[in-house]
Amino acid sequence: MHVFFYWRLFEIKHYGKLIIEKNMLSNEKIRHISPGVINKKGCWYCIQCHTQEKRHFYKYFSTLLDKEVVYCRNCINLGRMDNINEVYITETNVNMSQGIYHLPFKLSEQQRFASIKILEAVKNLTSILLYAVTGAGKTEMIFEGISFARRKGYNVAVVSPRVDVVIEVSLRIKAAFRDEAIDVLYQGQRQCHNGHFVIATVHQLYRFKHHFDVIIVDEVDAFPLSMDPILFDVITHASKEHHGHIYMTATPPTKLLRKMKEGSIITLPARFHRQPLPVPQFKYHKIKFHKIQRFLMKLLKQQIEADRYTLVFFNDIQHMKQMYHCYKTEITSLTYVHSEDVLRFEKVSALRKGEYKVMFTTTILERGFTMANLDVIVLNSHMFESSALVQIAGRVGRKLEAPSGLVLYLHEGITMDMLKARKDIKKMNALAHNRGWLDG
């Protein structure tokens, strides 16, 4: 009896959520009960992912139930929704906290400017886009807005399409908001608190319905299918009717720029350390993947001698592996990494420790990776989109102690995307200079 009582007392609450198993709930109010897949005006509709597309539904005849079963394939990895089993949506709930945070350094002038804009958007529950260059120090800009929201009792989510960004950002937010009950949700991670302050992948928002007052979307354009309309659908359904959405990216897609209201795009052209963005250099070079090329070998050796770390970006895993086996014979401090690599995290942390000097990589390291004394080389840069090129260039010079470095695009013909990337970077530097947000 006692054990049961305490278990009840300490269990977590699922507010504003879609729940498959009713025994997960205690005294939460249920506002909706229906099968996970319902028929809406002759079309199937999924309660979890809100799809109505015919191709997302799969039908079969169950002899056991003597019925036709329809289930949603679109969100099957989050738990099966079908026309047989009932699901529950709970009422949202508010809870105020003190929203205290600790920041061991002062914000830059630009960060303070952005922080005020975010605070306004949170106060007025409006939506804004922060067009902030790589290394602008975006995470710290949102702290004041989050703090206000939590004091007010608003439910807050900080989300990103990418797991590695979620992990990185969650470490920094948790270090600042030490006394807040923060739920970090991705893949296998379970909810530990009551979901008033959540850091998660965008995918995890499928579970929340009409719950958040404020959603901050980091790296909004990193969604696998760039700007898939589903992304905005998920965010909208997870939000309350009156909400504030804060989108942040260094490379906003045209669609997003068009979607934003006049005056709601805040451009942040400076890095937090007040040094300009490194400008990419172009060099014509035809890559051979199956043999050592003297130019490249010499370049990599020079990099090592200069005590610089080098990321070499590939657009093809097979080519990358092929080239790794050639260059490995002469460069011992070389490794490679890609998204399916089981040793991915170990290799990246070994690079940080200085165990490797050169890392061949696919675009998985294009975002969210920061280390000092780093240079980047892009092979076949004519095959890359401008947003990827800007993000890759953005890895360089992020630390105050080493604010510059080499960004080299090796190409077989300059493309519009390469030109756009360089133009955007130069434009941001000029803007930062004009606003007096750069030193020197």
**Binding stretches for Zn ion (CB under 5 A):** 46, 48-49, 72, 74-75
Q: Which amino acid is located at 106 in the chain?
A: K
Task: State the nearest-atom distance from the C-beta of 51 to Zn ion, in Å.
Answer: 5
Q: Looking at beta carbons only, is 72 or 379 nearer to Zn ion?
A: 72
Shortest distance, position 253 Cβ to Zn ion, whole Å: 25
When the beta carbons of 75 and 428 are compared against Zn ion, the nearer one is: 75
Q: How far apart are CA 197 and CA 96, in angstroms?
A: 10
Q: How many Å apart are CA 203 and CA 75, to the nearest integer?
A: 9
Closest CA to 391 of 429, 430, 424: 424
Q: Which is nearer to Zn ion, 46 or 428 (CB)?
A: 46
SS3 200: strand
Amino acid at 351: L
Supply the minimum distance, in Å, between the C-beta of residue 77 and Zn ion: 10
Q: In terms of CB distance, is 75 or 119 closer to Zn ion?
A: 75
Query: Per the structure block, which two tokens stand in for 374?
Result: 């780093």
Beta strands in 250-291 (DSSP E): 265-268, 281-284
* Tokens encoding 102: 């600790």
Nearer to Zn ion, 74 or 381 (CB): 74
CA distances from 43 to 5, 38, 55, 197 (A): 45, 8, 12, 35
Return the number of the residue (48 or 201) whose C-beta is nearest Zn ion.
48
Q: Between the CA of residue 158 and those of 164, 218, 393, 404, what are the distances in Å?
A: 14, 7, 25, 30
CB of 311 to Zn ion, least distance (A): 38
- Dihedral sign (CA 45, 46, 52, 53): negative
| 72/157 with CB nearer Zn ion | 72
The span from the CA of 221 to the CA of 387, in Å, is 9
CB of 46 to Zn ion, least distance (A): 3
Query: How far apart are CB 370 and Zn ion at their closest, in Å?
Result: 36
Beta-ladder partners of 33: 88
- Give 76's contacts (C-beta < 8 A, 6+ positions apart): none
- In the complex, least distance from residue 85 CB atom to Zn ion, rounded to whole angstroms: 13
Nearer to Zn ion, 35 or 153 (CB): 35
Least Å from the CB of residue 49 to Zn ion: 3
| Nearest distance from C-beta of residue 391 to Zn ion, angstroms | 31
Q: Which is nearer to Zn ion, 49 or 300 (CB)?
A: 49
Closest to Zn ion by CB, 57 vs 154, is: 57
Residue 126's alpha-carbon distances to 39, 122, 160, 263, 381, in angstroms, are 34, 7, 19, 11, 38
Q: Is 28 helix (H, G, I), strand (E, B) or coil?
A: coil
Nearer to Zn ion, 55 or 291 (CB): 55
Alpha carbons 157 and 143: distance in angstroms, whole number: 12
Nearest to 50 by CA among 23, 24, 89, 91: 89
User: Which ranges of 337-396 does DSSP label H, i.e. alpha helix?
Assistant: 344-352, 386-393
Smallest separation, CB 47 to Zn ion (Å): 8
* Type of residue at 166: V
Contact (Cβ atoms closer than 8 angstroms) between residue 84 and residue 67: yes
Q: Give CA–CA dist 50/43, Å, rounded.
A: 12
Measured from the CB atom, is 77 or 329 closer to Zn ion?
Answer: 77
d(CA 233, CA 427): 33
Q: For residue 87, what is the enclosing H or E element?
A: strand 86-90
Least separation in angstroms between residue 200's CB and Zn ion is 18
**How far apart are CB 203 and Zn ion at their closest, in Å?**
12
| Token digits of residue 204 | 């995890």
